[in-house]
A and B are shown apart, each in its own frame.
Chain A
Amino acid sequence: MTRVQLIGILATLCLFMALYFVFSYAKVEATMLEVQKIFYFHVSSAFTVFIAFGVTCLFSILYLIKRKDRYDMIAVASAELGIVFCTIVLLTGPIWARYAWNTWWNWEARLTSTLILWLMYIAYFILRSALAEETKRVYSAVLGIIAYLNVPIVYFSVEIWQGNLHPSTDTKMNLHPTMVKAWMISWLALSVLYVFLLVLRYQTERLKSQLETIQYQQMEKT
């Protein structure tokens, strides 16, 4: 049993545990009923997004200093996962909005900022695909750092641009204890899932690189 498989099993267990906690254990919220339960995955995903893009920024910096290809691979893998979780936030947000405020999208601050974030990192991938091999890693590392520096500025700017319709973080304090537990478990589950997928994705990148080297060596021989 490899380390990766262990993490995978752990992730699966955590996810099932989270499902139980969210759907069985946590009290059903009074006004929004079952739909409120989106909140657990929505917020947890959001936190994971910041971690994922933070990892990208960190490994971009490391890559620029040390120039080890594997740092870039981790950065890319993490950025990809960041986009996945960001997409989850952007999809679950409107579902909540539809039931809470009767609209699919209302330019509420946090969701708008997350959309901008999503666009910044989609651009990261568009840039990568447009660049030649030699400059791809260096240039996307630069963008990975610049984009992350912009994250707090964007969130702050949009927050004061809009009035805040988003359920404020204070409501966390007013949550029923079962809800708090459910929320923490779901955050844990998504974090473990993120780590698992990150390792998988990184390994895929590495294998791809090794495969290309072997393929090329074969070509040289003929």
Chain B
Amino acid sequence: MKGFRQIIWLIRKDLALQFRTKDTLILIFVFSILVVLIFSFAFGPIFPDDPEDRAKLAASVLWTAFSFAGIITLNRSFDLERANGAIQGVRLTGVDPSNFYLSKVISTLVFLTMLELIVTPIALQFLEVLDVLPAIVQERLLLTLLKLIGVLAIGTLGFCAVGVIVSGISTSTHGKESLLSVVLLPLIFPVIMAGAKCSVSLLTTGGLEGNFWISILVVYSLVFLASAYLLFEFVIEG
């Protein structure tokens, strides 16, 4: 019971500090929009007319933008813990390292999902996808968007499950922000593949029928949540 309360307080701390200087939310938001715009312009010359192709492009852009946004968020999150030895203060309270891991996964998930909630509709509009969606999807647009956010959330969960523990081991070095990217990106390929496939399915058919990619996202999240939960003790306590 005490552990559960500690997790809640840790999550509240993360969200308070991430949002306190609204800096972080705005920074990551602007970054994500910029990535989307860069893709829009970079693909300008070959911008597809076909709705299905456009949906594919949108899916790729979304998952890329959110992966990079996620990496920045994780970097900042751990920098915050290491600054002034704050994490040592947390360790001294006798918090179980595995609970600390869970709290980080949840708070990062919440933060990134909120970001996705805001950026996705905007991105879809910039990529001119919303207008060309097939009729089936247009009719249930809101529901489809919500399902899309849902898929993004599950993908983000997998991303955070691996990302938090990898940040734990990659951000201990000073001034090597790119280290996290190099270590984390190869590990999250399955999330990006599965996530993109699910997103395309949602945007072109409004549903996930016959799409088992969602099970890959779920399996991935479970495998890494479980293993990282067990391994995180070694990251914090050495």
Contacts and interface: CB of A to CB of B under 8 A. Distances in A.
A and B touch in the complex (CB under 8 A): yes
Interface of A: 64, 116, 119-120, 123, 126-127, 130-132, 134-135, 138-139, 141-143, 145-147, 149-150, 153-154, 156-158, 161
Interface string B169-204: 110110010010011011101100110010000000
Interface of A, secondary structure class, is helix
A153 B190 CA distance: 7
B193 A157 contact: yes
A59 B45 CA distance: 51
Interface residues of B, number: 30
Contacts of A146: 162, 165-166, 187, 224, 227-228, 231
A126 B179 contact: yes
Contacts, number: 79
Contacts of A64: 231, 234
Interface of B: 162, 165-166, 169-170, 172-173, 176, 179, 182-183, 185-187, 189-190, 193-194, 197, 216, 219-220, 223-224, 227-228, 231, 234-235, 238
Contacts of A145: 227, 231
B169 A154 contact: no
B235 A139 contact: yes
A156 B227 contact: no
A143 B193 contact: no
Nearest to B197: A161
B219 A153 contact: yes
Given A127-B169, A142-B231, A153-B216, 15 more contacts: A116-B189, A123-B186, A130-B176, A130-B179, A131-B173, A132-B172, A138-B234, A138-B238, A141-B234, A142-B165, A143-B183, A146-B166, A146-B187, A157-B194, A161-B197
